[in-house]
Amino acid sequence: MERLYMFFTKKSAAARVAAASFAVATTLGLAACGGGGDDGASANVGGSPEEIAQLAKEEGEVRLIAYPKTWANYEGHFNEFTSKYDVKVAVDSPDASSAEELQAVQNLKGQDSQPDVLDIGYSFTNPAIDQGLVEPFKPSTFDEIPDDFKDPEGKWVSAYYGVIEFGVNTKKVDDVPKTFKDLLDPKYKGQIALSGDPRQGASSIAGVFAASLANGGSLDDIEPGVAFFEELSKSGNLVSISDPAAALTTGEAAIVLDWNYNWVGATEQLEKDGVDLERVVPEDGVFGNFYAQPISVNPKRPNAARLWVEWLNSDEGAEQYALGGAIPSRFTKLAEEGKLSDEAMEKLPDPAVLEKVQVPSVEQGDKANEVIATEWAKRVRN
């Protein structure tokens, strides 16, 4: 079961650096990293997508970190990318946190095992820039990516985002909640959980943000969300869990808040485990957030790194994200032009819901993190 539930802990901000090994954790059955080469700063980098693709093929592979196969359908990405470009994908430490990703770049600079491209939570984009750990690249679709999902200089772009949903086991819950207000009902005592500790994980912070929006707060004010979970905790409705899908399977919880694409990725296995999953975007708190895919500074495979980012932000990359429930950053344009398949559209929240989604800026996220860091432990017992 460890492999199945890996993706739910991928983006925890907990400091596991001491325990993490940045040697190869998995290569998805693909070839391991090749020998050394010229430093990325002096490497020959293509000037067009076509040139980049050709040079990437010569480099042979792209090396990633923190890309679990079941997160946002990355397995589909790997397969289609390699099939199209004949460039292999190697993934180190697929379950690494964003903090560990930055540490890996620091520790492995100049080495062949340095990751070429990251996948980090939005709150880690400024630290990555400030520490000089990333370098700019603008994919060919850069102008189509909304401003909230990119650095203006191209030091990072975000190819996808998620929306907070209630994942409900209807075998345990007869009356499925539709709003945060519903969660306060005593009939849900001992049944509700965040995906983890909001002091440590992006998806848990997102749950608090969504609750804030539902209770008079805003992207600038997460305090009402903390107050909501304080009330939920005092009532006994809120419980602690270590893993969302496992909690539904074991009965540890029956209603868990997490990203919509995580539930998409877990659905098949949950069905096998006897869980009847119903997914609900809370009507009163439609909140979303993104992860960014920056290129690490002076990567050993600069063209493969750029090709990977180009792929993620392409129409084909968007299709793979959507098939995994992750919402492409370019969704509005793609949907208007009918470029996503019916199968992919069915995996995403209703477009009417996506029109309501609120996404914080990096600065708003940093402010929210400060509030949670000082208030959560004092007020929420879970």
Query: If you compute the radius of gyration of the chain from its CA atoms, what whole number of angstroms results?
Result: 20
Q: Is residue 25 part of a domain?
A: no
Residues 266, 127 share a domain: no
How many domains are there within the chain?
A: 2
Residues 315, 253 share a domain: no
Residues 267, 375 share a domain: yes
C-alpha torsion 236→9→264→142, nearest 10: 120
Residues 293, 273 share a domain: no
Q: Is residue 19 part of a domain?
A: no
Classified as helix, coil or strand, 268 is: helix
Residues 6+ apart with CB under 8 A from 84: 311, 316
Going from the C-alpha of 80 to that of each of 53, 73, 100, 173, 291, the distances in angstroms are 14, 11, 27, 39, 21
Residues 276, 187 share a domain: yes
Q: How many CB atoms lie within 10 A of CB 171?
A: 13
Residues 330, 340 share a domain: yes
Residues 322, 185 share a domain: no
Distance CA 5, CA 26 (A): 16
**Which CATH number characterizes residue 301's domain?**
3.40.190.10
Tokens, residue 253: 């919880």
Mean per-residue pLDDT over the chain, rounded: 89
Residue 48: what pLDDT?
97
Residues 250, 110 share a domain: no
Report whether pLDDT(249) > 60: yes
Q: pLDDT tens digits for 274-289?
A: 999 999 999 999 999 9
Q: pLDDT tens digits for 302-318?
A: 999 999 999 999 999 99
Range of the domain at 367: 164-287+361-379
Closest CA to 322 of 256, 245, 260: 260
Residues 249, 128 share a domain: no
Q: Specify the pTM.
A: 0.85
Residues 312, 240 share a domain: no
Q: Are strands 61-65 and 192-194 parallel, antiparallel or unpaired?
A: unpaired
Residues 223, 124 share a domain: no
Residues 280, 235 share a domain: yes
Q: How many CB atoms lie within 10 A of CB 177?
A: 20
Report whether pLDDT(23) > 90: no
Buried b (16+ CB within 10 A) or exposed e, 14-53: eebeeebebeeebbbeeeebeeeeeebeebeebeeeeebb
Q: Is residue 338 part of a domain?
A: yes
